[in-house]
Amino acid sequence: MQYDHIVIRYGELTLKGRNRKLFTTQLAQNVRQALRHFPAIKVDKKRDRMYIVLNGENPEPILERCIKIFGIQNMSLAIKVANNEEDIKEQALKLLTETENVQTFKITTKRSNKDFPIGSQEFNHILGGYLLANTENITVDVHQPDLEITVDIRTEATYLTSKKIQGAAGLPVGSSGKSLLLLSGGIDSPVAGYLAMKRGVQLEAIHFYSPPYTSERAKEKVLDLAEKLSFYGHSVKVHIVPFTALQQKIHREIPHGYSMTVMRRMMMRISEAVAKKEGILSLITGESLGQVASQTMESMHAINAVTNYPVIRPLVAMDKDEIINISEQINMYDISIRPYEDCCTVFVPKAPKTKPRLEKVEQFEANIAFEKDMEELLEAIETVEIEVKDKQQQALDELL
């Protein structure tokens, strides 16, 4: 069947009252961006839904791409018909006969255009009767039809659609502002970033590494994770922080039980400084309550104390199994388990304090002058902008 449109429905977006226009504009921009490699298509944004005008493009790879765009509740392939009975009948018959394996059907008419002279119920009967009279061995089943044809009679035209394809839901990336994700090479932080993006957050990422203790490949792994994240939001800027000198100083001068807490506090301070510079108003981590020594209530308290920025922790109440499930679903897991050392594991003390006391941490830190190290370190940050790799686009193009 030759579909000529895709209907995109917003779901939660429609609840947003006055902000709605902002959300739909952002969504339209994201859809156009994601589909930029399909030059023939047109994105037509309306108040309560959006249309992709296919202009002859194959809808399959376009749907494939759209199911990963946050802010789309569901989608349907559609045929646009003029608002008159004869045209609707003709196209509905074509849809019914050209769809494979259909023995039963149902018609659901929605008439938002009250100028159309026939009521919904009556039109269901008229069209149903017409389809029965012009086919053989096909019957009506209102409970479990093989094909449900929705006839959506609107002001500008009528759209015939059949099944609904589930979208990624959430909010369009960019509609909830920007946040800085502390991105390690582990399993948790990429999932935290993904979940924040699902709520409309545009990401920048910061990664701490410790050359030569951590290898180039560990850094590559993080950039690969950032690239996966960029798929959901066009691009992700990654700030790479050479952390070695400061880590060595902490290792030398802070009692070992407290070195991890101090290291985390440094990470927070540096992250806040980068966020400030970039005009970003919050931080995101992959922390999950009780998972490891640095994620007890006492640790979080001591670590969080260095910043007034909101720290968003999308995984705080999740079990590791649940986190791994998401990581697998979004194809991050295989990258996350590549066996390269993380800066924190290199310097991790044998027995980190699970209940660090804030006064003690502050006391230890007062003995080391770290301001200058921080300044140097901020100077040495390398920033890269990661976009969806061409190979991903190529793979999409091959589907055409």
Contacts with ligand ATP by CB under 6 A lie at 182-184, 186-189, 206-208, 285-287, 291-292, 294-295, 342-344
The token duo for 263 is 């290291």
The answer to the question of residue 336 lying near Mg ion (CB under 5 A) is no
The token duo for 167 is 């979208």
The answer to the question of residue 186 lying near Mg ion (CB under 5 A) is yes
Neighbour-count burial for 243-258, b at 16+ CB within 10 Å, e otherwise: bbebbebbeeebeebb
* Binding partner of 123, given ligand ATP, Mg ion, none, CB within 5-8 angstroms per partner class: none
Any known ligand binding at 264?
A: yes
CB of 224 to Mg ion, least distance (A): 16
Q: DSSP assignment, residue 382? A: E
* Binding partner of 247, given ligand ATP, Mg ion, none, CB within 5-8 angstroms per partner class: none
Any known ligand binding at 257?
A: no
The answer to the question of residue 184 lying near Mg ion (CB under 5 A) is yes
- Give the 3-state secondary structure of residue 84: coil
For ligand ATP, the closer of residues 39 and 212 by Cβ is: 212
For Mg ion, the closer of residues 3 and 333 by Cβ is: 333
Looking up tokens 């502390």, which residue turns up? 182
CB of 254 to Mg ion, least distance (A): 20
Any known ligand binding at 182?
A: yes
- Torsion of Cα atoms, 39 then 30 then 314 then 227, to 10°: 40
Any known ligand binding at 392?
A: no
- Give the 3-state secondary structure of residue 359: helix
Any known ligand binding at 217?
A: no
For ligand ATP, the closer of residues 152 and 287 by Cβ is: 287
Any known ligand binding at 399?
A: no
- Give the 3-state secondary structure of residue 232: helix
CB of 342 to Mg ion, least distance (A): 5
Are 164 and 171 a contacting pair, CB within 8 Å? no
Q: Which stretch binds Mg ion (CB under 5 A): 54-62, 184-192, 202-210, 329-337?
A: 184-192
CB of 176 to ligand ATP, least distance (A): 19
Neighbour-count burial for 92-101, b at 16+ CB within 10 Å, e otherwise: bbebbeeeee
Are 146 and 102 a contacting pair, CB within 8 Å? yes
Whole-number Å distance between alpha carbons of 398 and 396 = 5
The answer to the question of residue 175 lying near Mg ion (CB under 5 A) is no
Are 149 and 106 a contacting pair, CB within 8 Å? yes
* Binding partner of 292, given ligand ATP, Mg ion, none, CB within 5-8 angstroms per partner class: ligand ATP
Whole-number Å distance between alpha carbons of 398 and 375 = 48
Any known ligand binding at 183?
A: yes
CB of 336 to Mg ion, least distance (A): 9
CB of 189 to Mg ion, least distance (A): 7
Number of Cβ within 10 Å of residue 347's Cβ equals 19
Whole-number Å distance between alpha carbons of 64 and 87 = 30
Q: Which residues bind Mg ion (CB under 5 A)?
A: 184, 186
Query: Which amino acids are annotated as binding site for ATP, given as ranges?
Result: 182-183, 207-208, 264, 286, 295
Query: Which amino acids are annotated as binding site, given as ranges?
Result: 182-183, 207-208, 264, 286, 295
